[in-house]
A = this chain, B = another copy of it.
Amino acid sequence: MRQSKLFTKTSKETPKDEVSTNAQLLIRAGFVDKLMAGVYSYLPLGLRVLTKIQNIVREEMNNIGGQEILMPALHPKDLYDKTGRWDKIDVLFKMEGVGDKIYALGSTHEEVVTPLVQKFVKSHKDLPLSVYQIQDKFRNEPRAKSGLLRGREFNMKDMYSFHKDEADFLDYYEKSKVAYLNIFKRCGLDAIIAEADGGSFTDKLTHEFQVFTENGEDIIFSCNNCHTHRNAEIVKDKQCETCGGDLEKNKAIEVGNIFPLESRFSDSFKFTYLNKEGKAQPILMGCYGIGPSRVMGAVVEINHDDNGIIWPESIAPYSVHLISLCSESGDIKKADELYDSLTSQGVEVLYDDRVEVRAGQKFADSDLIGIPQRLVISPKTLVGDSIEVRDRETGEETIVKIKDYVQ
């Protein structure tokens, strides 16, 4: 992408109405635009990051047999009457439609996915099964001041699994933990698993994936002895519940969670399966959430410096930021050729070909946008048919012959 064509521009001003680091940096760098509290538009650079995160999530869900579907955001009230959650989910957006219709906007999809899967699953032969979607959720959050970390509208991957017994459920639940840890690792996040409360989903303990950072909204207690992590909301003692060890208190961002739902929702819909003896048995469910938009926010909270964002290669909007400081037509031609050869090799390049912007501004923009590798091509480097290669994270700079870089 030629930066001269990119319609967004960076800004030096920190947006006055944003207190979170992720929103401040993402807005200043032109990744997102704030429509109102907790509601953001994804601009070209931001959408590229979001899509890359979604694709990592998709691959890992497919790897554990998840089948991708897409359910609606508009939900009819009668499904919530069956589960008793119409008044229990406090963040549910509710709305009237034509006639006497009453809708909710999906904040989660148990009420939709359970009767949907029920239409197809009759026998033990149809189990186990897991389906997932990557879709936008709506939550009428009282406070939405954390940028992409807590949205009123936000992107979510929600998977639901269906099992014939506890052993089969637990087997899949453990597989999902591995898949989740893979996802966060691939997105450059060092996540740990913490026990937590089940909210309106389950009376059982659930598991959260948490990333430690001073900017986190959650408090996690970690045992120095047995290394169990627990969300503060379930920690009653000053010692570890498991081993009696000392607890350490740290702030963290929740980037995913998984819930054993048991037969909480299948019971509401009288959803059973026939076992080998032809007898109806309860279906056990699990639910597994990751917010790709929240992951994007968390990565920015954790990976930045005073100059801007530092994207991990895997989810960076582009791999290479090629900056041309050329003004003579011969030199510009060489910069264009370098851009063309890299893109034709499949390298994702943001090419700062802007002619009226001075070098200092280009470097500042590049640090703010945070693409992992910066290449500078200038009359000075071209003397040696070279470019300057700089690593955004380490700041390490090397001079490399163009022919060696391009191969």
Residues of A at under 8 Å CB distance from B? 5-9, 30, 33, 35-36, 39-44, 47, 50, 65, 67-76, 93-95, 97-98, 103, 105, 112, 116-117, 119-121, 126, 129, 131, 136, 138, 140-142, 152-153
B-chain residues with CB within 8 Å of residue A136 when the two chains form the complex: 73, 136
**Are A71 and B120 in touch, CB under 8 angstroms?**
no
With a cutoff of 8 Å between Cβ atoms, the chain B residues found around residue A30 in the complex are 120
User: Could you list 19 A-B pairs, sorted by A, with CB under 8 Å?
Assistant: A6-B67, A7-B67, A7-B120, A7-B121, A7-B129, A30-B120, A33-B119, A35-B71, A35-B75, A39-B74, A41-B69, A42-B70, A43-B69, A44-B67, A44-B69, A47-B69, A47-B70, A73-B153, A74-B152
Q: How far is the CA of A129 from the CA of B71 in the complex (A)?
A: 33
Partner of A72, one of B40, B44, B98, B141: B40
Q: Determine the distance from Cα of A76 to Cα of B47 in the docked complex, in whole angstroms.
A: 22
Q: Are B98 and A140 in contact (CB under 8 A)?
A: yes
- Min distance, Cβ A295 to any Cβ of chain B, angstroms: 16
Residues of chain B contacted by A44 (CB below 8 angstroms): 67-69
What's the least CB distance linking A318 to chain B, in Å?
Answer: 14
Which 8 A-B residue pairings sit nearest by Cβ, starting from the closest?
Answer: A42-B70, A95-B95, A41-B71, A74-B153, A39-B72, A72-B153, A36-B76, A44-B67
Chain B residue nearest to A135 (CB atoms) is B136
Given contacts A7-B121, A120-B8, A142-B98, contact A42 B67 (CB under 8 A): no
- Closest residue of chain B to A79 (Cβ to Cβ) is B35
Q: Which of B33, B138, B140 contacts A116, CB < 8 Å?
A: B33
Cross-interface CB contact of A138 among B42, B74, B117, B119, cutoff 8 Å: B74
- Contact status A41-B140, CB under 8 Å: no
- Residues of B with C-beta under 8 A to A5: 65, 67
How many Å lie between the Cα of A348 and that of B39 in the bound state?
A: 38
Interface majority SS on A: helix, strand, loop or mixed? mixed
Q: Which residues of B contact A35 (CB under 8 A)?
A: 71-72, 74-76, 112, 116
Closest residue of B by beta carbon distance from A78: B36
Residues of B within 8 A of A119 (CB): 33
How far does the alpha carbon of A6 sit from the alpha carbon of B68 in the complex, in Å?
11
* Complexed CA–CA distance, A74 and B93 (Å): 11
A138 to B138, CA, bound (A): 14
Complex contacts, A152 vs chain B, CB 8 Å:
74, 97
Min Cβ gap A104→B in Å is 10
Q: CA of A95 to CA of B94 in the docked complex: distance in angstroms?
A: 7
Contact B121 A41 (CB under 8 A): no
Q: Which B-chain residue is minimally distant from A111 (CB atoms)? A: B35
Bound CA–CA A6/B73 (angstroms): 24
Residues of B within 8 A of A74 (CB): 35-36, 39, 138, 152-153
Tell me if A68 and B47 are in contact (CB < 8 A): yes
Nearest-neighbour CB distance to chain B for A235, whole angstroms, equals: 29
User: B residues within 8 A CB of A65?
Assistant: 5
Complex: how many Å from CA A192 to CA B50?
36
Give the shortest distance, in Å, between A160 (CB) and chain B (any CB). Answer: 11
- CA gap between A116 and B41 in the complex, in Å: 9
Alpha-carbon distance A36/B103, docked complex (angstroms): 11
Task: For the complex formed, measure the closest distance between the CB of A27 and the CB atoms of chain B, giving whole angstroms.
Answer: 10
- Whole-angstrom CA separation of A251 from B105 in the bound complex: 35
The distance from the CB of A265 to the nearest CB of chain B, in whole angstroms, is 16
